[in-house]
């Protein structure tokens, strides 16, 4: 799971979740990334959006 700072899409997701073990610890804080995934509304007492990678064909996660 990666936290997203200053997202450039709307609605603005707060985190990126990958179901692919290859994405574990790939990026460090402050790095810019490019991704494609599924925008999901989640609720843990407070509603927010996240992007799930690896749930649909064509999903990706890579350096920008």
pLDDT tens, position by position, 4-43: 888 888 899 999 998 777 777 778 888 888 889 999 999 9
Q: What are phi and psi of 12, to 5 degrees?
A: -85, 115
Q: Is 53 helix (H, G, I), strand (E, B) or coil?
A: strand
Pair 50, 16: CB distance under 8 Å: yes
pLDDT single digits (tens) 52-62: 998 889 999 88
- Which one, of 49, 46, 60, 57, lies nearest residue 18 by Cα? 60
**Per-domain residue ranges of the chain:** 2-63
Distance of CA 8 to the CA centre of its chain: 12
* Neighbouring-strand partners of residue 62: 34
């Amino acid at each position: 799971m990666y936290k997203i700072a200053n997202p450039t899409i709307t609605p603005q997701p707060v985190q990126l979740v990958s179901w692919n073990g290859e994405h574990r610890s790939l990026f460090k804080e402050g790095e810019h990334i490019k991704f494609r995934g599924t925008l999901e509304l989640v609720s843990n007492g407070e509603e927010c959006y996240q992007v799930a990678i690896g749930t649909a064909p064509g999903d990706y996660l890579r350096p920008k």
